[in-house]
Chain A
Amino acid sequence: MVAPLLLSLLTFLHGTELWRPVGPWTLRAGVSAGYSHYDGVDLNRTLVLLENLTREAAGTNPYAVKGFDGHPAAQKRLGVRRGPWNLDLEMEQWIETFHQSEVPFNLEDNDRDNRITCDDLRVQADRLTSLAGCIQASERFLFVPLTAQVSWMPAWTSWMRAGFGYGLGVLAGDASVTLDAQYLGPDAAPDDQITFAITPDPLVTPVHKWFASLEWVPTRFFGLELRGGWRLTHLPSFVLAEKQGSSQVFDAAFDYPETGDYLWIQAPGRNPEVQSIWIGSREEAVGRSSRYSYHAVEGNFDGWFLAGSVVFEWRFP
C-alpha cells in the first residue's frame, strides 16, 4: 500500500507528463518465476478427509497428508509499452502432483491398530480369509490463470522503472486423478483402474491481480523485474468429469459417483466436527439435509505472489 501511495505522490510532484502515453511503441516479452501463495482451505481439508477415509476403511493408512498453501509458479507475458503504460497478457501455470502409492486395505480387520503394508498382504494373499488389496493413486493439479494487465511503470531514472498495476482475467483448469486398485484374497476381483477429472464449476472464474513492480533496465532491450502483489480468485465448486473405467473400491467409498456430481464436505447436523467427503448432486444433498449439512468444496486461491522476470523489449521506429 505504501509504495503505490508514494509513487502517486511523486507523480504529482513530477507533473502530468508521467501519465501521458507518448513516445514510441515498444513490444515486450517476459518470462518469470516465483511463488504463488494461497490458503486453499477446502482443498487441504479435502485431502485430510481423504486420508481419514483411507485410514478408517482399513486402519492401515501408510501415509500422512501434508497440506499445501501455494507452490512455485511460472508466468509468460507478452505486451506493449508506450510512455509509462504497459499493456500485457500474462499466462501463469500452477502445477502440483500428488502420489499415494501402496495404500493397503484389508477388510478382515477394520479396527487394526498395527500397520501393514501391501507387501505383507501380497505375501499372505493365498491365506487371506477375506478380501484385501492395494491402491496406487495419483493426482495432477493444473490451473492456468490468464490475465490482461495494465500497469503504470514510469522510468524514474535511465535504468529504473517502478509502478503498479491491475490485471483482470480468468482462471481455468482441473485436477485429474488416477486410481489403480489391486484386489487380493479368495475370489478377488480383477485389478481395475479409474481416471477422472475434478473440474471447477463454472469452468472459468474471474481473477483479479493487484501488483507493484520494480524494474532494472540496464539496456534498452533488456530488463529484470521484481513483482509482488495480491490475487483474488475463488472457484465456487468442483464437479466430477471425464470418468473413465471403474473401480470397486472407489465406488464403495463414494457410493457410485457419476459424472456431473459435485464434491461436498458433509457434516452431521448436530456434529459438524464429524466431516467426510461426499460426492453427489445438489438434489441428493437437499434430500439428505434433514440429517446433514453440505458445503461445496471451494477453491479459494486468494493470496500473495512474488516473481522475478526477465523482460525483453523491441522498440518500433
Chain B
Amino acid sequence: MIDFAHYRSGKALSLAATLFLLSCGNGPSDVPWRPQTLSGPQTCVEGSRPDTVLAASLNLSIGFRVEDLLFIDQGSDSVVYRRVEGIYADAARSLPRERIRRIAVEIAALRPDLVGLQECLHLERDGKIVMDMLDTLRHDLDSLGLADYSLHRHALNPVDVVVGRPGGDSIHVVFHEGLATLVSPRWTVRRDVILPFKSVLSIELIGRRATSERAAQGLLLSAADGFHLESWNTHLEVLPFQRKNQATELVLVADSLRSELAIDPPAGRVLLGDLNSAPGLDADSLLTQAGWKDSWTDAGNRSRGPTCCVSNNRSATGSYETSGRRIDYVRHQGACRVDSTSVRLDSWFLTGSGDTLWTSDHGLVLARMIYGVRP
C-alpha cells in the first residue's frame, strides 16, 4: 500500500509530479497580429468641392502564366527548354510592338489622369531584347505627344538563367514583369512605393526555387489645385486561396500608409488592377467590405463588362462577351459619383501588315469619377 500521508513519500510524489509536468513542456505559442494604426475608408463628403479623375487599368499580358510552369517535369532539361522556347514563340507571335502601339494610341486619345498597368513584361534572349513593353510604350507615347506623362515602374519576378538541353543548345533567359502607373502631367508624384505581398506562390524550376512575386504599387499624387489622390495598382494571384489573402494585405498596407501620411485635406483614393476575381467573389467582395467601391456598378453600367480573356491573341473571332469575366477594376473611395465606365481595346484590330491581333488578353477598363473629399 502507498502511504500517501507519509511526509517523505508525499515529497517524492510532488517532485515526481513536477518533473512530469516539466517534461511535457509547451509548443509554440500563438503569434498575434501586430496591429498598426490604420485609416478607415474614405467616403464622399456631401457639399464638398468636386474633383474629376479619369482612370484606367490594363493588364498588358500576352498569355504567359506562371501556373504554366507548375507541375511540369522540372527534372527534364528538354521539357523546360521546350517550355522556354514556347514562351519566346508566344512572345514573337504576339507582335508586341504593334500591340503596344495600339495601346499607346488609345491612351493618347483618352488622355486619362492615370493608367494602372500590370504584367509589364521585359524579355531577352541571349542578350537581345525580345520585348520591353514599358520602354516601347514610353517611346510610343512620346511620339504621340504624351512625353509629359510620367511612367512609374517596378519590376517583379526577375529571372536570369541559362536553360540548356541535352543536345547542347542553350538559351540565356532574362525576364521580369512588373507593375507600372502612367501619370498625367496634372499630377506631382509625391510618393511611389511598392509593397510586396507576403502570401505568394512558390515554384521550383530547374532546381531553383522562385516566388511568384505580387505586390501593391502605391502613389500619392497632388494636383496644382490642392487635390490629393492616393492611387493603388495591383495584380492579384490567379489561385483563389492566394488572392484572397493578397486582397486583405492590399487593404491593410493601403490603410496603413494612408494613416502614416495623414494627408490634409484628405486624399481621394483609386485602386486599379487585375484582381483575377469576378464581381461578388473572394477578392472583389473583400475589397468591397473594406470600402473600395466598384466604379462599374456605381456608374449603373448594365453591361456585364467582361474584360478578360482571349486565349488566342491572333484570332479574328471570339470576344470577351461570349466567355469573358470582369476581373479588371477601377475602384474608388471618396467619389460621390461615377459618370461613366467602359471597356476599351476589347476587340481585335488589323496591324499594318493586315494581321489580326488583340492588344492584350485583357481589355482596358476606364472610369470617370467625381470625387468629393475636400472642402
Contact = CB atoms under 8 A, between A and B. Distances in A.
Contacts of B203: 252
Contacts of A21: 1
Given A131-B72, A270-B38, A293 B31 contact: yes
A269 B33 contact: yes
A197 to B, nearest CB: 15
Contacts of A268: 245, 248-249, 252
A122 B28 CA distance: 43
Top 7 A-B pairs, shortest CB-CB distance: A237-B27, A268-B248, A269-B33, A293-B33, A56-B240, A236-B27, A294-B31
A107 B32 contact: no
A315 interface: no
B31 A110 contact: no
A262 interface: yes
Contacts of B82: 187
24 contacts: A56-B244, A57-B241, A85-B1, A107-B70, A110-B238, A111-B278, A111-B325, A187-B82, A202-B24, A202-B27, A206-B20, A237-B27, A248-B71, A252-B203, A255-B201, A268-B249, A269-B34, A276-B244, A276-B245, A285-B31, A286-B31, A290-B34, A291-B252, A293-B31
Nearest to B25: A202
A271 B36 CA distance: 14
Interface in A202-246: 202, 204-206, 235-239
B239 interface: yes
B74 A248 contact: yes
Overall SS of chain A's interface = mixed
B286 interface: yes
Nearest to B277: A111
Nearest to B241: A56
B26 interface: yes
**Which of B30, B72, B286, B311: most chain A CB closer than 10 A?**
B30
A82 B2 CA distance: 12
Nearest to B256: A290
Interface of A: 21, 52-53, 56-57, 82, 85, 107, 110-111, 129-131, 133, 170, 183, 185, 187-190, 200-202, 204-206, 235-239, 248-249, 251-252, 255-256, 262, 264, 266-271, 274, 276, 282, 285-286, 288-296
B200 to A, nearest CB: 8
A200 B241 CA distance: 27
Given A256-B209, A270-B38, A289-B32, A189 B71 contact: yes
Contact of B201 (A183, A237, A252, A296): A252
A268 B244 CA distance: 10
Nearest to B83: A187
Nearest to B80: A187
A81 to B, nearest CB: 12
Given A129-B311, A255-B201, A266-B245, 18 more contacts: A57-B240, A110-B238, A187-B73, A189-B72, A190-B75, A204-B23, A204-B24, A248-B71, A248-B74, A252-B71, A256-B209, A262-B27, A271-B286, A274-B244, A276-B241, A290-B34, A291-B198, A293-B33
B250 to A, nearest CB: 10
B241 A82 contact: no
Nearest to B32: A293
Contacts, number: 152
B240 A262 contact: no
A316 to B, nearest CB: 14
A161 to B, nearest CB: 19
Nearest to A170: B24
Contact of B70 (A235, A248, A288): A248
B202 interface: yes
Interface residues of B, number: 54
A111 B31 contact: no
Contact of A289 (B33, B71, B76, B79): B33
Contacts of B25: 202
Contact of B30 (A107, A291, A293): A293
B34 A289 contact: yes
Contacts of A290: 33-34, 36
Contact of B31 (A57, A82, A255, A289): A289
Interface string B216-253: 00000000000000000000001111001100110110
Contacts of B251: 270-271
A188 B73 contact: yes
**Which of A21, A189, A251: most chain B CB closer than 10 A?**
A189
B322 interface: no
A249 B71 contact: yes
Contacts of A291: 33, 198, 248-249, 252
Contacts of A204: 23-24
Contacts of B248: 268-271, 274, 291
B71 A296 contact: no
